[in-house]
Amino acid sequence: MIKYASFLFLIISITCARAEVISVTPADAKAGEIKAAKVFYVGEVSERKVAELISVLDRLNSDNEALANIYLYINSPGGDVDSAQTAYWAIKSSRIPVTAVNVSTVASVATVMFCGAKVRTAFPGTVFVLKPANITLPAMSIQPVQYVLSRELLKSYTMSLQAFIASARTCLQKRCRPSWRAPTTGS
């Protein structure tokens, strides 16, 4: 009988600390015996953390032929919109099916990552927060070109997020695969 073991990949982040990817494999596990992997994503959605997540997913997809499922446990307040979209496509394109699990809070753009998974679930008492995008501007001075660019970015992000929110509501209510596309902006 094949032993059922699991990889445990932790992505842990504490404010001002570097996130780490930790791999734990049972001592008696043999190649081909591991059927499930667990990946924990805790903290803000950022370029660095999403790059680490993609690295873990790529490693799991290439090194584990017998792996049947990847469980992605998410607890995130959100973060960078572009990074979340990158994570969405990395999760969605995983050769091994990904099950996203809300362990506490999946907020703002972290919901984009969550909906990239083939299967989505949540622990009891967890929270999903959907809200419009915002852009942080420099505190003191701003050039007119920066203002216009920031306004256009905010408009584009808001339109994308509105389309995503509509799809996410359906996705979360019906547990279906999301199929959203960012609306095109008119000049």
Position 83 in a domain: yes
Report yes or no on 146 lying in a domain: no
CA-to-CA dists, residue 185 to 115, 144, 158, 161, angstroms: 24, 21, 11, 13
Say how far apart CA 113 and CA 165 lie, in whole Å. Answer: 13
Within a domain: residue 68?
A: yes
Whether residue 119 lies inside any domain: the answer is: yes
Q: What would the two tokens of residue 99 be?
A: 């099950």
Count of structural domains within the chain: 1
What six digits make up the tokens of 114?
A: 């969550």
Residue 41 included in any domain:
yes
Write down the pLDDT at residue 23. 55
Is 149 part of a structural domain of the chain? no
pTM summary value: 0.66
Report the SS3 class of residue 114. Answer: helix
168-172-178-180 Cα dihedral, nearest 10 degrees = -20
Asked whether residue 170 is domain-assigned, the answer is: no
pLDDT on residue 10: 41
Q: What is the pLDDT along the chain (187 residues), one digit of tens a residue?
A: 344 444 444 433 333 333 444 556 677 777 678 889 899 999 999 999 999 999 999 999 998 888 999 999 999 999 998 999 999 999 999 999 999 999 999 999 999 999 999 999 999 999 998 887 766 665 655 566 667 777 787 888 788 778 777 777 776 666 554 444 444 555 4
Domain containing 93 equals 5-131
CB neighbours of residue 21 within 10 Å:
16
* 177 located within any domain: no
Using alpha carbons, list the distances in angstroms from residue 91 to 116, 150, 163.
6, 29, 19
CATH number of the domain bearing residue 37: 3.90.226.10
From 183, 187, 178, 186, select the one nearest 89 (Cα to Cα). 178
